[in-house]
Structures are given as structure tokens and as C-alpha cells.
Amino acid sequence: MAHNSGYFSTTIPLNTAKATTPGMHDANVPVAQPTSLKRVVSGAALKELLASGTSTQSKTPSKIDNVFQNYSHSEISRDAATIKNSVVMHLTATFLRTPANMDSGDAYLASAFSVRDRLLQRWNMTNEYHDRVNAKRVYYMSLEFLIGRTFDNALLALELRNEYSKVLGDVGFCLEDIIDEERDAALGNGGLGRLAACYVDSMACSDYPGWGYGLRYKYGMFQQQIIDGYQVEAPDCWLDSPNPWEFPRPDVTYPVKFYGHLVRVPDSKHRFTWESNVVYDAMAFDVPVPGYGTNNVGNIRLWSCKTNSLFDLNKFNAGDYAGATGGQVAAQILTDVLYPNDNTNEGKELRLRQEYLFCSATLQDIIARFKKTGKPLSELPDLAAIQLNDTHPTLGIPELMRILLDDEALTWDEAWSIVTRTFAFTNHTILPEAMEKWPVPMMDKILPRHMGIIYDINLYFLQSVEEKFPGDRDLLRRISIIEESNPQQVRMAFLACVGSHKVNGVAAIHSDIIKQSIFNDFVTVQGEDKFINKTNGVSPRRWMNGCNPDMSALITEAVGDRTWINDLTKVKKLEDHVADDDFRARWSAAKQKNKQRLADYILSTTGIKISADALFDVQVQRIHEYKRQLMNIFSVIYRYHCLKQMTPAERAKEISRVVIFAGKAAAGYWVAKQVIKLINSVAEVINADAEIGDVLKVVFIPDYSVTAAEYLIPASDISQHISTAGTEASGTSNMKFVLNGGIILGTVDGANIEIGEEIGEEQIFFFGCLAHEVGDFRHYLRFHQPKPDEALQTAFDLIQNNTFGDGAIFQPLIDSVLRGGDVYLLSVDFPSYIQAHKAVEDAYRNQEEWVTKSILSVARMAKFSSDRSIQEYAEEVWNIEPVRVTN
């Protein structure tokens, strides 16, 4: 456990009422009390109420119900004096500082704790109300939640930003500087985790009762450092300072078993006792998610290992210090790092145990909460909907079966009916390396009970298939959850598909592709209605109102009020202002201000000075071959070559361009790390070339994060989304860029297609082959080695001639195109890619046309709000209704 968990539990008073049954914990017992509330209950009165009151689940309010309802609804004053007193109280009482020796870090912590007091009020009220009315809840299981920073987001949600800005200004601090003291939560890496964060935000803002479930990573994935151009991984020690936005729940712990053996329960076919020799306790940490425009507050519950009981004092006293702490270390590493490198067998085992800890604790918690309703388990699907965000949480399916069979003594058919009505599955990729598989021997060793359950799930499923398609053994082989390889593998995507009542892709093209490819046989067997599309969305709170205040103010002016923040369809009114010269000028000024802000950030982060008057060309995504950052940097090299061939007068007529990259490569992904090295080597040469000057600059921003994205996205002129057609499931960064007035340069892939349909293809620059053509191109390139076009060959020549350092270092990247089959079709798409860049520059020269594109793009992007996505899930997958908490 991180050091600060004990800190919080000792400095904040807790309710004395506790659940007495292990694991049976109410969502808000114990809870930290808002320190500024005046309405309290004395110890004697509390004892009397506890003796005379009934459960808060009772439909008839008792005395204790009324007291705590009044308590929860007591509003903390919003006036400056109350805010200032609260900040000073936390400064002096919580952190033992005084205003006289307060620095910006102290000011942040004191202010953050003050804000969380207010947030906690709504959080308690929401959970108590949802419990009281037995609301059906959504449980969004995701191995990542890329939530970014919370302080500013909470201020905006509570509509207190101006008040705190004034109070802090009165004591000599700038709110923006205080906000910068917060570190990003290292709980995710890419689009998967950011999508999960947006969805929990939208559930809160749309009044849907919903929790996220994940893991509390001590070091995140890693902190990316760039040393000599190479990515170097370092631990992201984001929890070194107190985290005001999490609430340790030492009372909410569940045992999680590994290894061991099974003992069949007598006279039972499917019931076993799992005798395990390794048991860890998973402890909950709650992270409230504030809703904007509502009293509702969502929650993300994160699990960490509770290791105190694993310290062996006898071994310590005997001098075996390593042995004394070995159990603690083995448990703690399960939640140390997101996506531990699984290039080794040990890494694979660690990741499997990590995923099971997450799933087991989550399912035990969901069942414990459901049992408090007193309803039979057959009604679990009526009060709980569980969404699997990709394959990482798929072990939740056999885990729920284990609980229902072994702990609750249900029959197989009863348990399986509950499971398949409760779970739904979101697929995020068709890439083979991302379709999780676990070796059967490993699964059998670490999770013997679950391996047996998976065997039975597969058996009954294949039997049902054989009844429909007798004699088709090849179909059975293709559709089996167990892949007949050496060794056998458990195909987790297939298990998720079999165990869920709905399976969705995340963009229209992606949903069609999964039905035609990886799940084609399942569509045949289970019917097409099971497979649906839910195009991704992003939160307007974070990705417009929060990160782009000047543009948001213009939207508010056009709409007439701020209700557009929770109803993005209203931004359509921007079209009424597209011909207003004054409005257009202020729109351009807002963009220019964002560009200067990014230029300042780049200077402070990288030391590279860029001009805010240049065209900002941005590609920020995790580094992967299919996302084709390699093609981008090849084009930069070719552009550099062309500029060097020009006279100074010719160069002076060119559009100045800053090409910005950011993103992490997986620690074991050698090719992606070489791409980062190439980008930085090219940047070093170009940025130092005085002859080129500001006409071309290249920047790689290290350690990409939500905070970095909040600088980059509002400032972009164009953003590149250039994946090989058919490989990008959806993307969400493309949505964020367009929602902030940026223009896309991209392939006909993922959500780019639907964005083009909504905003008009004249507002987007498409290039490249189409998804249905990819197979034929790959087949041709596999057996032929066509000569690349002149532009691409020029880039290769410059690299091989050591223009950017030792060309031999980068030869494998060139060989992947020339001799490796060019799987991602760089050579095929490069000519049209270069032409698309020329079209961008031609359009950018006409700034009047460009501003029109920018305004119209934002005006037509309502579809890509995560609020729309969540509403579709609620109506078509989860079958839940909004439950609005009122004072």
C-alpha cells in the first residue's frame, strides 16, 4: 500500500458504523466527512439513532435516515470567506503549514482538499440515494482509466473556478500555477483508458448510476524519458505526494486466490472447493468523478494489494529479511505497473495474475453490493450491467461463474443465464497481437478452477453449435474458445463473445470488420443481432470546456448559454456565425492564443523554440507500426530534402510548418522504439539547420499525457490520423482535435469516416487505399518487391547516407518496407500522402477558407460526444434509466 493511504485514513474522521460481514460494504461506509459542515450528530445521539433506526435500504425513513439525509444535503457555502477558511484550515490542520510559509505546492494541496470536501458531499448523497432506490448500476471494467488531472476538472464541475481563482489571487497565487502542481494520475496509457475516463464522466453528467473498476498502479506504465534520442523507461512515481482525489477503503477488501488444487463437493457435478496456497487481499481506493450540471457524482473503484498480513515476523527475527518480505513484494508487484512487459514467461504470468486480481475483487464487490438488496441472485442482471472494456477483464466471466457455482451453490444453467444476461463486451481491435490469448498450462497452474470452468463453457457452447451445424468439425475448430495449438491457448475474445449478451465495435467500419473477420463464425452461430456498433465519443467537459476556454466562451456566446456542455447538439448554432467577420476574427484569435501557449509549453519541455505563426502539424498517439508515425517522419525527411533544394527566395514563399510527435512505445516493442529514435535524430538535424530556420521544425514531446494533450489539441491546425485502412478501430484523438477546430489529415479508417460524414468531406483531407483493398495489396507485396516512388526513395537515401546519424541503425525500418512485405502499406500510400500534404498547404494559404472549415467542423461534431455514446449503451445494451439525485 502506498504511504499516503494511512495518512488519509488518520487525518479525516470516519463514520463509526461499519459493515460486519466481510466484503459486505455499503458504497459510502465508512466515508470521510466534509470538515466544513455544521450539522453533526453527537456520540450519544448517534447510539440512540443506531439502536432505534432501521437500514437505509428500508422504504420507510427512520430517525437515522432523516438525520443523515439532512446531513448529506447541508450545502457548504460558496462565499469567498468560507472558501478561504477551508483552504487555511487544511493548510494548517492537515499539512501543518502556515500561510506565511506556504508555497505553490502547499496551496495546491490545501485548495484540493478544500474542493474535495464539497465533492464528497455530492458523492455521499449520490451513493446513498442510488442504494435507497435500488437503482440499476453499470459497472465499467477497464484495465486503464486515463483520467488526467482532477483539480481543475472538479472546479469546473462544481462551478467554483472563479471563486477559487479570486481567493488564491488574494493570497498571492495564480490559479493556473496551482493547477500545474498536480501530477497526472498514472492509471492508463492510451485511447482505451481515456475512453473509459470519458465514459465514467458521461455517466455522471447524464445521471446514469455507474462505476468504473480498475487497478491502482503505483508506477503507471512508465515515465518516458528521451536520452540520446532513445526512449528510456523510468518509474512514474505519481503517488510520491499525497493524492487528494482518492479515498483508501481498508474496510473494503476481498481475498483473491492463486494456484492450489480443487476438491469436488460431494454429489455435485459443477461445484468445487478451491484449496489455494496463495491468497492476497485486494483493497479498494475510490476516486469520485464529478458530474457537471448535476448533483450526481460517479466513482472509479481501484484495487491494490493489502500486504501487511504478508510480513513474516518470525523470518525477520531469524535474519531472513528477504524471506520476511517476500510475500509482500510478490503481492505488491501485481499492481505496481500497467501492462508489465510480457515478452518473458514471468511477465506473462504476472500479467495474468494482475488481470485476475482485478476481475476477482470487482466481481466479489458487485455481488456483495447486490446482496444488500436482499433480492435473489437470479435478479442480478436487473440491478447490474457489466461492460468489459476490451479483453483484459474477460476473466470476470469465469469468476462470476465460480462465485455462483461454488459459493452460492447455483446450478450451471442458473449461473450461466445470470452471467450471459449481465455481461456485455466491447472489442477494440482486430490486430492479432492485441487479441489476448493465455497458454492453457499457465492458466491451469495459476487459476485451476477457472480453467475448468472455461473448459465446461467451451464444451457446452460447442455442443450447441454442433446441434445447429452437425458434422462441421472445421467450424467447431475455428470457433472453439480453446485454440488447438502447441501449447493450447485460451482465446479471451472468444470467451468474452460467448459469455456476453451483446458485442460491439467502436466505429461503424470496425463493427463491420469484426463481423466479417474475427467474429464471422459467431455471427453465423449466434445471429447478427448480438453484434452491434457503438461509435466512441469524448467528453465535452474535458476536451472543450476544460482545455479550450476561449473557444468555449465563443460557443457559449453563439448558443446563448452553457447548456451545450451537456448537450453538444446545440453547437450547431455556430453555423449561424460562420459569416460574422467579428466572430471569425475572435475564433482565429482564440486559436492563435492556444498556439502560443503550446509554443511556450514546448520551449519549457524540450528547449525547442518554435513560431506560433507556423502551421502546427500534430500526430500524438501511442507509437505503433499500424499508426504509421514512420510514414510521417519519412515525409518530413522528404520535405527537408525539397527545402534544401530551393533558393532562399523560394523557401521564403513556403508555408512554415512545425511537425509535432508524442507518444509512448511499449517497453518491449523494439521497432516502435526505433521509430522514436529516428524522429529525434531527424529533429536534431533539421532544428539545427540555420538555412532552413523556422520553415520546418520537428518536435518530439516526451512522456505524453492528458495534460500534454490539453496543450496540443486546442493548438493544432492539422492532426494526422493515418493508420493503415482497416486497422484503427475508431480513434478518439481525431474527435478531440476536430472538436477544438483542428482539421484532419487521415486515411479512410476508424471514426475518420464518420467524422467526414458529419462535418462534410470538404472539411477533411483523406488519402490512401481503402480497407477492402488492403488484402490485395498485401498479397501482392508479399511476393513482389516493387521499387518505391521517388519521394520515398529520397527519404531512404538520406537516411542511408548518414544524414541523420548512423544510417545502419535505421536500416531495419527501411527493410520493413522494402523487404518485409510492407505489412502496413507505407509504400502504397506514400504518394497520395504527399499529395494530401500539398492540398493542406494550399488550403491553409487561404485563411478565410481555413477558418470556415474550422468553425463548421466544430458545429457539426455533436455525434462524437461521449454523452451520445453512453445514452446508446444505456438504451441498447445496459437497459438502465437515468436516476437524478435532487437536494
Alpha-helical regions (H) of 53-144: 63-73, 80-89, 104-132
Q: What is the C-alpha to C-alpha distance for residues 832 and 769, in angstroms, rounded to an integer?
A: 9
Q: Spell out the residues 6+ positions from residue 32 whose beta carbon is closer than 8 angstroms to its own.
A: 8, 12, 13, 14, 120, 247
SS3 180: coil
SS3 538: strand
Q: What is the C-alpha to C-alpha distance for residues 286 and 212, in angstroms, rounded to an integer?
A: 10
Q: Spell out the residues 6+ positions from residue 691 whose beta carbon is closer than 8 angstroms to its own.
A: 644
DSSP 822: -
* 306: amino acid identity, one letter: K
* Exposure on the CB side of residue 343, measured as CA atoms within 13 A: 6
- Please report the pLDDT score of residue 632 as a whole number: 98
Boundaries of every domain in the chain? 3-33+134-148+184-532, 614-863
Handedness of CA 506, 511, 514, 517 (dihedral sign): negative
Q: What is the C-alpha to C-alpha distance for residues 334 and 730, in angstroms, rounded to an integer?
A: 30
In the numeric block, the cell 500497467 is attached to 338
Q: To 5 degrees, how large is the angle CA 400–CA 401–CA 406? A: 105
Q: What is the C-alpha to C-alpha distance for residues 387 and 210, in angstroms, rounded to an integer?
A: 11
Could you name the CATH architecture of 3-33+134-148+184-532?
3-Layer(aba) Sandwich (3.40)
Q: Are 45 and 63 in contact (CB under 8 A)?
A: no
DSSP 789: P
The reply to whether 614-863 shares the fold of 3-33+134-148+184-532 is: yes
Question: Smallest Cα–Cα separation from 617: which of 765, 767, 720, 723?
Answer: 720
Q: What is the C-alpha to C-alpha distance for residues 359 and 431, in angstroms, rounded to an integer?
A: 24
Q: What is the C-alpha to C-alpha distance for residues 580 and 104, in angstroms, rounded to an integer?
A: 42
Strands 482-483 and 489-491: what pairing?
antiparallel
Measure the CA dihedral 22/27/33/37, to 10°.
-150
**What CA–CA distances, in Å, run from 113 to 171, 180, 238, 597, 627?**
17, 16, 17, 28, 40
Q: To 5 degrees, how large is the angle CA 604–CA 659–CA 428? A: 100
- Please report the pLDDT score of residue 210 as a whole number: 97
Give pLDDT < 50 ranges for the chain: 1-65, 67-72
Q: Are 56 and 15 in contact (CB under 8 A)?
A: no
CA 126 to chain centre: 24
Q: What is the C-alpha to C-alpha distance for residues 663 and 784, in angstroms, rounded to an integer?
A: 33
**What CA–CA distances, in Å, run from 846 to 727, 739, 745, 759, 842?**
33, 21, 17, 19, 7
Global pTM?
0.91
- Count Cβ atoms below 10 Å from residue 870 Cβ, excluding itself: 27
Handedness of CA 819, 823, 824, 830 (dihedral sign): positive
* 250: amino acid identity, one letter: P
CATH code of domain 614-863: 3.40.50.2000
